A and B are shown apart, each in its own frame.
Chain A
Amino acid sequence: MPRKIVKPEDGILVAQNITKQFGERVVLENISIAIEKAKTTVIIGPSGCGKTVFMKHLIVLERPTEGSVYFKGERIDDKEEHRLAKIRTQFGFCFQMGALFDSLTVYENITFPVEQHYKIKDYKALADTVKQKLAMVGMDGFQNYYPASLSGGQKKRVSLARAIALNPEIILYDEPTTGLDPITSDVINELIIKLQKELAATSVVVTHDMKSAYKIADRIIMFHKGRIIADGDADHIRNHPHDVVQQFIHGKVSEAELAALRLGGTKFETQFLPEDFE
């Protein structure tokens, strides 16, 4: 596939030729994406292909080994931390693992970004906003819980509510629906669509859930081993000629992986017995 040249003005958030290495290991290789304003871009790809690492580059939690990131035409990946702070308030980042503050209650988690950036005068209004944000993700009533006493999916939803607390322009969701039941997943999909429609929010969503990808995406990008192998709208991806893409979207294992399973057999060569450890 001929690689398009991406320019800083091409979108609200632009990654240009990003390469990321951890030591010797190359995780992202020459990735260029221009994310358009008020559109929902979905990133799919097999586990461990570098989606989370890429998302972190967009908000400069990771800095690229090579290449650059532009926000509204301005280069941000080489900025110092205290300059990034202002820019980051226009972002919402929903971490894959939630990353809720476990020493704060759900309520305090959600007010955290607000309190950090605004002088709060009307606490009643704040409480109402929190209630409303939590209601959006179906978590109203859990204000006084600590994250430790929530289930995995509940944590995820609270972290989503926290990410949208400041009404950000750009929302980065790292697997927002993983671990949720089908109905709640769809609520989250509707939420993403609603934010895009009503606030003209730009969303970047990492997901494994093809159904939700087709539903919310204006554009789908598929990563494979640190590279982009497919990029286009839902139909483009559905009819993509590449085997890897087809296998991924239909959730089929490849011949090679089946062969590996067969080779492994169903029994271990040497069965471990409890006696062996005594």
Chain B
Amino acid sequence: MIETIGRKTIEGIENLGRFSRFVARTFGAMAQCLFKPRTYPLIWAQMYTIGVQSVPVVMATGAFVGMILAIQTYGQLASMGLEERLGVLINIAVVKELGPVLAAVMLAGRVGGALTAELGTMNVTEQIAAVQSMGTNPIRYLVAPRVLACLLLTPLLIIYADLLGILGGYLISVWQLKINAGAYWNYSAIGVERWDVCTGILKGFFFGGAIALISCYKGFTCREGAQGVGEACTEAFVGCFISILALNYIFAVVLDAVYKSFWPIRPLL
């Protein structure tokens, strides 16, 4: 029993070490990529599959979040006669938490799964070894463009999710629930600060980076065979999901502290 716990712990730490080395090498390769215009086509191609093709699902996610929030909270606010404040509630929730997190989860499923499966298959069919055997660094050729694309585009996708969330909330509140549009937007404007929007989008960099790095790592280290690829995909998705939630928690704590110390003295700076 104790032996098992010990072994698992050691395995876990070893894995973490390997993952950190992978991350370090990826960042090195990404820096090289940025200075070599020759690799840009690879990045564009990844941006298209990772970013552009994710726009519809991310927009749908955002829209539904906004609409559901409107319907769910209306009853409670209306019973207190505060229904005009619905806007603040929906928009804060969408911009600060639900937009970024759910968009990232959506991406983890759509992009993370695909990356792990693709690289995992390449790994078990020796295509990664083939890249290596021809004197090309597989991390630079395969991982760096994917991580860069994911890192740069997740914030943009979050903006789409936010926009559609706000729009969805508005449509339901104003059109279906007949809330005065002017009041709805006024309260929103007072309640949602630029800080909330910016931090929400900032999270995107970290979520995107985490998704791509974890998925690529799982693909690179996947075990032989169809089952190995399947397992790697599952592990990648679970890993991405957990790290999105954990990162979000860390963000909440850190950003709260930063906000409390700097935002009030903002006019002075």
CA of A166 to CA of B137 in the docked complex: distance in angstroms? 17
Asked if B126 contacts A91 (CB within 8 A), the reply is no
Query: Which segment, of A24-32, A69-77, A109-117, A194-202, faces chain B?
Result: A109-117
Chain A residue contacts of B73, Cβ below 8 A: none
Given A95-B130, A99-B130, A101-B130, the answer on whether A85 and B135 have CB atoms closer than 8 Å is: yes
Nearest chain B residue, comparing its CB with the CB of A116? B136
B212 to chain A, nearest CB (A): 18
Q: How close is B148's CB to chain A, nearest CB, in angstroms? A: 18
Can you name the residue of chain B whose Cβ is closest to the Cβ of A91? B133
Separation in Å of the A9 CB from the closest CB of chain B? 25
**What's the Cα separation between A59 and B126 when bound, in Å?**
14
A93 interfacial contact with B, CB 8 Å = yes
B127 touches A82 (CB 8 A): no
Q: Which of A82, A93, A119 contacts B133 (CB 8 A)?
A: A93
Whose C-beta in chain B lies nearest to the C-beta of A97? B126
A99 to B129, Cβ gap below 8 A? yes
Which residues in chain A, 25-48, are within 8 Å of chain B measured between CB atoms? none
With beta carbons under 8 angstroms apart, the residue of B122, B126, B127, B135 that contacts A116 is B135
| B80: Cβ under 8 A from any A Cβ | no
Check A121 for interface membership: any CB of B closer than 8 A. Answer: no
Whether a CB of chain B sits under 8 angstroms from the CB of A61 is yes
A82-123 contacts to B, CB under 8 A, are 82, 84-89, 91, 93, 95, 97, 99-102, 112-113, 116-117, 119
Q: Nearest chain-B residue to A109 (Cβ)?
A: B130
B125 in contact (CB, < 8 A): yes
Counting CB contacts under 8 A, is A255 at the interface? no
Rounded to whole angstroms, the CA-CA distance of A84 and B136 in the bound complex is 9
- Nearest opposing residue in chain A for B29, CB measure: A82
Contact A117 B127 (CB under 8 A): no
Which A residues lie within 8 Å of B38 (CB)?
119
Q: Which of B126, B130, B131, B137 has the most CB of A within 10 A?
A: B130
A257 touches B (CB below 8 Å): no
* A235 proximal to B (CB < 8 A): no
Whole-angstrom CA separation of A61 from B133 in the bound complex: 7
A101: which B residues are within 8 A, CB to CB? 122, 127, 130-131
**A181 contacts chain B at the CB level, 8 A cutoff:** no
Q: How far is the CA of A85 from the CA of B134 in the complex (A)?
A: 8
The answer to whether B137 and A61 touch across the interface, beta carbons within 8 angstroms, is no
A278 at the interface (CB under 8 A from B): no
User: A116 near B130 (CB under 8 angstroms)?
Assistant: no
Residues of chain B in range 96-137 having any CB-CB distance to chain A below 8 Å: 122, 125-127, 129-137
State A166–B134 Cα separation when bound (angstroms). 9
Report A-chain residues with C-beta under 8 Å of the C-beta of B136.
Answer: 85, 113, 116
Q: Which residues of A contact B133 (CB under 8 A)?
A: 59, 61, 88, 91, 93, 95
B137 partner, pick from A56, A81, A91, beta carbons under 8 A? A81
A95 touches B135 (CB 8 A): no
**When the two chains form their complex, are residues A88 and B132 in contact, meaning their CB atoms are under 8 A apart?**
yes
* B137: A residues at CB distance < 8 A: 81-82, 85
Contact A86 B135 (CB under 8 A): yes
Q: Smallest distance from the beta carbon of B221 to chain A beta carbons, Å?
A: 16
- A/B interface sample: 23 pairs, CB < 8 A: A56-B129, A82-B137, A84-B135, A85-B137, A86-B135, A87-B135, A88-B132, A88-B133, A89-B134, A91-B135, A93-B133, A95-B126, A95-B130, A97-B126, A99-B129, A99-B130, A100-B127, A101-B130, A101-B131, A102-B125, A102-B127, A116-B134, A116-B136
Supplied contacts A59-B133, A95-B130, A97-B125, 7 more A-B pairs, CB within 8 Å: A82-B137, A85-B137, A86-B135, A93-B130, A95-B133, A113-B134, A117-B135
Contact surface of A with B, Cβ cutoff 8 Å: 56, 59, 61, 81-82, 84-89, 91, 93, 95, 97, 99-102, 112-113, 116-117, 119, 166
